[in-house]
């Protein structure tokens, strides 16, 4: 595999090399490029994604030489969950002001970005977190601080704030013209299908309890706490679909469901997903609660954006947004971090003792000077899948025959992942309007080709595609739709293809380069909140150790 071919400016995470310079795409929102094309489906809305203007701005400059120089202890590059977690850890541990967080976009959050309108706040990507299990200590601590966990009962089980636990009904699936409760297909199942369900879920249950010869759980969150027993690691060598085939599980429904899960969590079809990652989805989560079952999740109208807002509160003075880091190099004992201020058009150099690199790992091949000069052999292992997400504001609620409107609503017959109701947690009896967050991992072809195709579509074309898909779930729904906002994620998620998680590349990429410590969730090979937070905290601890030693 190669790095997905970079693309001029438009996508959010893409870089372009021109001469000796690279062009970073700053984030932001571009409004609909072709408002006249909207005649047919007149819906308000906009398309968001990369700010290509910022990209051009950079191309026009032949040489970026820093005008100002500043000094700080630690620089954090990237203000997603990983970067914010690192910042909080530094605050907590050394209680001093000696660090800076540089974020490319105008807001922090990264893949946990959110927006809002008159009806409700809504997520642009990450929207929920399953209740944390044994190993996810940092998530539990964070939840305690934020009041998501309110205390512990007599048996030591965490008591969750019930406004944050996902309200019932949680999931429904449209299949054969009928909405059923839950996402595992039930309608029209033969005995053979049912037997395979039992076998498959039975196997997952056993993996959940399994421990390796090193005493660790076979599959854990964080990934690094999982057992290294080859008995389990061997699953990283094959694909999830291969694993199903090897076990004789050929039920169409079961395969649909497993494929859905892979696309949902990893943006990757099961043919491309490592079986280790695929099993991890089912076997790693073992959270318990006093007032919820083990499948429970916590969620908010703005998704994980709710956490992001609270995380950044204490560290606000240390955050610089619109700061596109384009060069990191050694300078004597120190590190120089150069960034371009996208708003002001200036270039700034920051000299620091250590760097926490919390931007996507593939960007390091362009920003860190030593990697730029010699592309490491592992670079090709990091591939990313594109996604399209949309927020749809409608009058009333989308109902349908069978199970009532749920939090997560999926159609068996659609290539999208359906929609999540952003204002599901709203306690009022009647909702006049609803915001639906629509998810679509673009997995039908090679990521690079899909990314290209996605960027060529106009907003109008996206709107038509979305409305058409929704109308198949809810006939005549387009009449109730008021606005459709679209977001394209060029490099949304790292793809856990076979070999990525337990192969040599990830181990190599995790190693610090001098005093640059890598924190992004990419370093786990799985794109989930828990991993991003874990990476951020661990990198901060490493960085603090070196700076303290200095």
Partner 1 sequence: MAYALLFSVFAISTCGLVYELTAGALASYLLGDSVTQFSIIIGVYLSAMGLGSYLSRHIVRNIISVFIEAELLIGLVGGCSAAILFSVFETAVHFRPILYSLITLTGVLVGLEIPLIMRVLKNRFEFKDLVSKVFTFDYIGALFASLLFPLLLVPHFGLIRSSFFFGIINVLVAFWALRLFKGEVIRPRALAAAGGLLLFLLTAGFIYSEQILHFTETLNYRGNIIYARTTPYQRIVVTREQDSLQLYLNGNLQFNSRDEYRYHEALVHPGLQAVRAPKNVLVLGGGDGLAVREILKYAGVDSVTLVDLDAEMTKLFRRHETLLRLNKGSLNSPRVTVINADAFVWMKENDKKFDFIVVDFPDPSNFSLGKLYTNTFYRLLYRALNDDGVIVVQSTSPFVARRSFWCVVNTLKSVGLKTTPYHAYLPSFGEWGYVIASKRAFRMPGSFMADLRFVTPETARLMMEFPPDMGPVDTEVNRLNNQVLVRYFEEEWSRYVH
Q: How far is the CB of 130 from ligand FAD (least distance, A)?
A: 8
* Closest listed residue to residue 259, CA positions, set 278, 246, 243: 278
Q: Which residue in 39, 374, 430, 479 binds partner 1 (CB under 8 A)?
A: 430
Binding site partner of 508, from partner 1, ligand FAD, none, Cβ cut-off 5-8 A by kind? none
Using CB under 8 A as the binding rule, whether residue 254 contacts partner 1 is answered as: no
Question: Residue 127 or 349: which CB sits closer to ligand FAD?
Answer: 127
Residues 6+ apart with CB under 8 A from 86: 76, 356, 358, 519, 536, 537, 539, 540, 543
Binding site partner of 350, from ligand FAD, partner 1, none, Cβ cut-off 5-8 A by kind? none
Using CB under 8 A as the binding rule, whether residue 429 contacts partner 1 is answered as: yes
Question: Residue 71 or 472: which CB sits closer to partner 1?
Answer: 472
Using CB under 8 A as the binding rule, whether residue 511 contacts partner 1 is answered as: no
Q: How far is the CB of 447 from partner 1 (least distance, A)?
A: 36
Using CB under 8 A as the binding rule, whether residue 165 contacts partner 1 is answered as: yes
Q: Which window, 7-15, 161-169, 327-335, 488-496, contacts partner 1 (CB under 8 A)?
A: 161-169
Residue 341 has a CB neighbour count (10 Å cut-off) of 17
Q: Mapping DSSP to helix (H, G, I), strand (E, B) and coil, where does residue 172 land?
A: strand
* DSSP assignment of 119-134: S-EEESS--EEEPP-S
Cα(133)–Cα(216) distance, integer angstroms: 14
Q: Under the phi-then-psi rule, with left for phi > 0, alpha for psi from -120 to 50, and beta for the rest, what region is 97?
A: alpha
Is the alpha carbon torsion for 375, 378, 380, 382 positive or negative?
Answer: negative
Question: Residue 61 or 213: which CB sits closer to ligand FAD?
Answer: 61
Using CB under 8 A as the binding rule, whether residue 119 contacts partner 1 is answered as: no
Q: How far is the CB of 39 from partner 1 (least distance, A)?
A: 19
Q: How far is the CB of 359 from ligand FAD (least distance, A)?
A: 4
Q: From start to end of 396-480, where are the E strands?
A: 408-411, 419-421, 433-441
Cα(427)–Cα(404) distance, integer angstroms: 16
Binding mask 325-364 for partner 1 (x = CB under 8 A): ----------------------------------------
Question: Residue 260 or 529: which CB sits closer to ligand FAD?
Answer: 529
Q: How far is the CB of 339 from ligand FAD (least distance, A)?
A: 7
Using CB under 8 A as the binding rule, whether residue 373 contacts partner 1 is answered as: no
Q: How far is the CB of 212 from ligand FAD (least distance, A)?
A: 25
Residue 237 has a CB neighbour count (10 Å cut-off) of 14
b/e sequence 368-395, b meaning 16+ C-beta within 10 Å: beebbeeeeebbebbbbbbbbbbbbbbe
Distance of CA 279 to the CA centre of its chain: 19
Cβ atoms 45, 483 nearer than 8 A = yes
Q: Which window, 8-16, 81-89, 292-300, 338-346, contacts partner 1 (CB under 8 A)?
A: 292-300
Using CB under 8 A as the binding rule, whether residue 374 contacts partner 1 is answered as: no
**Contacting positions for ligand FAD (CB under 6 A):** 24, 27, 77-83, 102-105, 110-112, 125-129, 323-325, 358-360, 363, 367, 387, 389, 439, 489, 492-493, 520-521, 527-529, 532
Question: Residue 80 or 400: which CB sits closer to ligand FAD?
Answer: 80
Alpha-carbon distances, residue 387 vs 25, 62, 418, 515 (angstroms): 17, 33, 13, 33
Cα(263)–Cα(122) distance, integer angstroms: 21
Using CB under 8 A as the binding rule, whether residue 475 contacts partner 1 is answered as: yes
Q: Which window, 187-195, 408-416, 426-434, 492-500, contacts partner 1 (CB under 8 A)?
A: 426-434
Using CB under 8 A as the binding rule, whether residue 163 contacts partner 1 is answered as: yes
Binding site partner of 104, from partner 1, ligand FAD, none, Cβ cut-off 5-8 A by kind? ligand FAD
Alpha-carbon distances, residue 134 vs 127, 211, 220, 451 (angstroms): 22, 14, 9, 38
Residue count (the chain): 550
Footprint of partner 1 on this chain (CB under 8 A)? Answer: 162-163, 165-170, 291-293, 296, 401, 404, 427-430, 432, 475-476
């Amino acid at each position: 595999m190669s790095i997905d071919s970079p693309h001029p400016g438009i996508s959010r995470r893409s870089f372009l090399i021109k001469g000796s310079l690279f062009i970073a795409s700053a984030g932001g929102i571009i409004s609909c490029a072709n408002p006249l094309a909207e005649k047919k489906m007149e819906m308000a809305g906009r398309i968001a994604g990369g700010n290509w203007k910022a990209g051009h701005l950079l191309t026009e400059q032949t040489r970026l030489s820093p005008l100002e120089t500043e000094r700080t202890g630690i620089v954090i590059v990237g203000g997603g969950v990983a970067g914010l977690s690192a910042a909080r850890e530094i605050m907590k541990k050394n209680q001093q002001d000696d660090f800076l967080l540089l974020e490319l976009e105008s807001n922090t959050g990264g893949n946990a970005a959110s927006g809002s309108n008159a009806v409700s706040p809504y997520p642009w990507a990450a929207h929920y977190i399953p209740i944390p299990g044994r190993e996810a200590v940092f998530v539990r601590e964070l939840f305690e601080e934020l009041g998501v966990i309110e205390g512990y009962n007599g048996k030591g089980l965490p008591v969750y704030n019930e406004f944050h636990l996902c309200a019932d009904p949680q999931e429904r699936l449209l299949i054969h013209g009928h909405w059923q409760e839950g996402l595992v297909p039930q309608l029209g199942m033969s005995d053979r299908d049912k037997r395979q369900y039992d076998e498959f879920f039975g196997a997952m249950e056993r993996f959940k309890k399994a421990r390796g010869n090193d005493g660790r759980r076979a599959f854990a969150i964080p990934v690094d706490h999982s057992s290294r027993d080859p008995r389990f690691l061997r699953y990283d060598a094959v694909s999830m679909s291969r694993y199903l085939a090897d076990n004789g599980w050929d039920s169409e429904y079961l395969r649909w469901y497993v494929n859905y899960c892979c696309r949902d969590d990893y943006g990757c079809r099961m043919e491309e997903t490592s079986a280790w990652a695929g099993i991890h989805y089912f076997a790693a989560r073992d959270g318990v609660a006093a007032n919820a079952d083990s499948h429970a999740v916590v969620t908010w109208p703005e998704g994980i954006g709710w956490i992001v807002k609270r995380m950044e509160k204490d560290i606000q003075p240390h955050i610089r947004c619109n700061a596109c880091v384009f060069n990191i190099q050694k300078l004597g004992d120190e590190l120089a971090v150069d960034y371009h201020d996208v708003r002001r058009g200036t270039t700034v150099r920051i000299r620091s003792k250590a760097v926490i690199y919390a931007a996507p790992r593939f960007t390091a091949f362009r920003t860190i000077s030593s990697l730029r000069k010699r592309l490491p052999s592992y670079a090709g292992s990091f591939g990313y899948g594109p996604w399209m997400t949309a927020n749809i504001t409608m009058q009333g609620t989308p109902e349908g025959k069978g199970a009532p409107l749920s939090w997560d609503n999926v159609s068996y017959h659609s290539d999208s992942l359906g929609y999540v109701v952003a204002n599901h947690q709203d306690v009022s009896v009647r909702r006049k309007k609803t915001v639906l967050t629509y998810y679509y991992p673009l997995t039908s072809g090679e990521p690079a080709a899909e990314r290209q195709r996605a960027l060529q579509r106009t907003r109008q074309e996206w709107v038509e595609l979305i409305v058409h898909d929704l109308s198949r779930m809810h006939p005549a729904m387009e009449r109730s739709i008021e606005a459709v906002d679209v977001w394209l994620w060029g490099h949304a998620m790292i793809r856990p293809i076979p070999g990525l998680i337990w192969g040599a590349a990830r181990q190599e990429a995790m190693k610090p380069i001098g005093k640059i410590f890598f924190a992004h969730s990419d370093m786990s090979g799985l794109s989930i909140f828990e991993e991003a937070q874990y990476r951020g905290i661990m990198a901060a601890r490493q960085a603090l150790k070196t700076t303290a030693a200095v």
